[in-house]
Amino acid sequence: DRHLTLHNIWKSLCKGLLKSISSYSNLKKMYLYDVEPL
């Protein structure tokens, strides 16, 4: 079913986006911590 495959692709895209966003924020946190440690 074409609609189902599109839905699966969209879901996997969203998952990858969320993963990259979380890893980016983690990197930013580490960078900020290195620059100005609290």
Look at the pTM and tell me if it is higher than 0.85.
no
Per-residue pLDDT of the chain (38 residues; tens, 9 = 90+): 677 899 999 999 999 999 999 999 988 888 887 766 55
Structure tokens at 38: 């609290």
Q: How far apart, in whole angstroms, are the C-alpha atoms of residue 33 and residue 23?
A: 15
The single-letter DSSP state of residue 38 is -
What pLDDT score does 38 carry? 53
Q: How far apart, in whole angstroms, are the C-alpha atoms of residue 34 and residue 12?
A: 33
How many residues can be counted in the chain? Answer: 38
**Exposed/middle/buried for residue 30 (C-beta within 10 Å: 0-12, 13-18, 19+):** exposed
